[in-house]
Amino acid sequence: MLFELRFDGKAQPVVLLDLRHTYPASLDIQLDLRGQYLLGAQARLLDDQFITLQEKVFDDFVQRPDHFSLRLYPHANDPAPAYLLIGTDPQSIGGQLDLISGRRVVSVWTGGGYMGAVADGVEDQHRKGIRDIGNFRLVIESAGLQPDTEAGTD
């Protein structure tokens, strides 16, 4: 579901995932680094009254080679959450990251009873803006369907 919330009078896009009929073992939110901007996201686990049980901000995401990742274990909470809300983290918007990547080449040579190695490399620096736009992927590891507690057996 796609909803809209407001922060400081400005509309903020959010995604709401209903967890009530599934039993996800883990939820991995992956913010894509390949785009022009990085989404400054936050995640909240909510109960069935939309009260926050757990909140994670952009600084809680871990940098991986091609994305930032936040892994949640929803059923480690008591009570178990009913919803996952993914939106923007107002505190991170407008910031930037300096990303450094490198390649190294080592050449080994031998000759006349001697042996040696020459190493050379290149290091690149990229500056990536953190904005309220960007791509993300949600990976759900499921533990199966949650038993239906309202349905009776006859």
Residue 30 inside a domain? The answer is yes
Question: How many structural domains is the chain composed of?
Answer: 1
CATH classification of the domain holding 17 = 2.60.120
Give the whole-angstrom CA distance, residue 54 versus residue 10.
24
- Over range 110-120, report the average pLDDT: 82
Token code pair at residue 12: 């903020």
| Bridge partners, 69 (sequence order) | 30, 62
Domain hosting residue 28, numbered range: 2-96+129-142
DSSP label of 147: P
- Over range 39-68, report the average pLDDT: 93
Residue 57 inside a domain? The answer is yes
The answer on pLDDT for 2 being more than 60 is no
- pLDDT tens-digit series, residues 88-108: 999 999 998 887 777 788 888
